[in-house]
Structure 1
Amino acid sequence: MAYRANYALVNVSAHLGPDADELDVPWAEFVGDATSEFEFTVPTDRATDPYVGLQAFRVDEYGHELQINGESLGGFDVPPANGWQYWEDAITETELVEGANTLRVVRDESHDDAFAVNNVTVHWREPVE
């Protein structure tokens, strides 16, 4: 069976943290401990090998989560890095479904970490018919 790659780009543009004054990121909306759910569409019921790539700024702690369809990804969803980073993580704890899916970023409230997330891209392979 032949496959093709597909993706959905989700512009999050969010500043997460305990205080809106923690970061100077005027392009990002301060959302506190979690973003709202962002919806993206998957046009097939046979999405395979899904993973996400995300752009994050000034993450200081482990423990923050990226949720797909209400389920956190396994492992480190948003690991620490100075400045900007691009991180990829496999989607293993949930499945993409045909039609509407959701994405949400949740800050680990046990730390005073403040960070920003810009774009998140959800990737998958789908059969060519």
Structure 2
Amino acid sequence: MIRTVFAAACFASLPFAALAESHITGDAEAGEKVFRKCMACHAVGADAKNKVGPVLNGVVGRAVGSIEDFRYSDALQQLNADGVVWTPEELAAFLEKPRDYAKGTKMAFAGLRKEDERQDVIAYLATFGADGM
């Protein structure tokens, strides 16, 4: 009984991002190359700033539409209100066809059709904490 309570307490204390990262199967190095397709609108890293799209530092495990100084579409604001979190699975679904995932999104990108590219870019994004490190 004590072990069960202790294990539950330890599990509950893990950051969500660490749990989300456990489902990441892609290759971060390959994802850095895939991310070049995203760089016109998004940035990552310590000096990243919002562009047409929000900064993606710490996106894995973060609530959808939650960068305070970025103006999101109504579709992403609704997902935020619904409590949706950018898990690797949610990101993969969004990246496959953003407009199908979030009807009304401002994101003009058609999507990443290849599963391995989606997984790789998610693995790359997971290497950045909220501070860009």
User: TM-score, normalised to structure 1's length?
Assistant: 0.27
Instruction: Answer 1 or 2: higher relative contact order, Cα 8 Å, separation at least 6.
Output: 1
Structure richer in helix, relative to its length:
2
Look at both structures and tell me which one has the larger radius of gyration over its CA atoms: 2
